Amino acid sequence: MPCELSSETIEQTVNFHGHTCPGLAIGIRAAELALQELGTSSDVDMVAVSETDMCGVDAIQFITSCTYGKGNFLHRDHGKMAFSFYDRNSGKGFRAVLNPEIRDTADNELAVLMRKADANTATPDEKKRITALRTLLRERFMTLDLHEMFTVMPPKEPIPTPARVLESLTCDCCHESVMESRTRRLGGQTLCIPCFTAREQKI
User: What is the phi/psi pair of residue 82, to 5°?
Assistant: -140, 145
Identify whether 107 is part of a domain: no
Task: Tell me the pTM.
Answer: 0.84
Looking at this protein, which amino acid is placed at residue 182? R
Same domain, 97 and 172: no
SS3 154: coil
Same domain, 77 and 41: yes
Identify whether 108 is part of a domain: no
What is the domain extent for residue 94?
7-101+135-153
Same domain, 172 and 86: no
- Which pLDDT score, from 0 to 100, does residue 202 have? 66
Same domain, 33 and 91: yes
Distance (Å, rounded) from C-alpha 90 to C-alpha 43? 9
Q: Which long-range contacts (CB under 8 A, 24 or more apart) does 164-172 make?
A: 171/195
Burial group, residue 91, by CB count within 10 angstroms (0-12, 13-18, 19+): exposed
- Which pLDDT score, from 0 to 100, does residue 7 have? 96
pLDDT tier at 103, thresholds 50, 70, 90: confident
- pLDDT for 1-27, tens place per residue? 799 999 999 999 999 999 999 999 999
Same domain, 149 and 187: no
Identify whether 122 is part of a domain: no
Identify whether 117 is part of a domain: no
Same domain, 144 and 172: no
pLDDT surpasses 80 at 188:
yes
User: What is the phi/psi pair of residue 39, to 5°?
Assistant: 100, 170
Q: Where residue 38 sits, what CATH number does that domain have?
A: 3.30.1330.130
- pLDDT for 45-93, tens place per residue? 999 999 999 999 999 999 999 999 999 999 999 999 999 999 999 999 9
Identify whether 130 is part of a domain: no
Mean pLDDT value across the chain: 93
Same domain, 93 and 178: no
Number of structural domains found in the chain: 2
Same domain, 93 and 38: yes
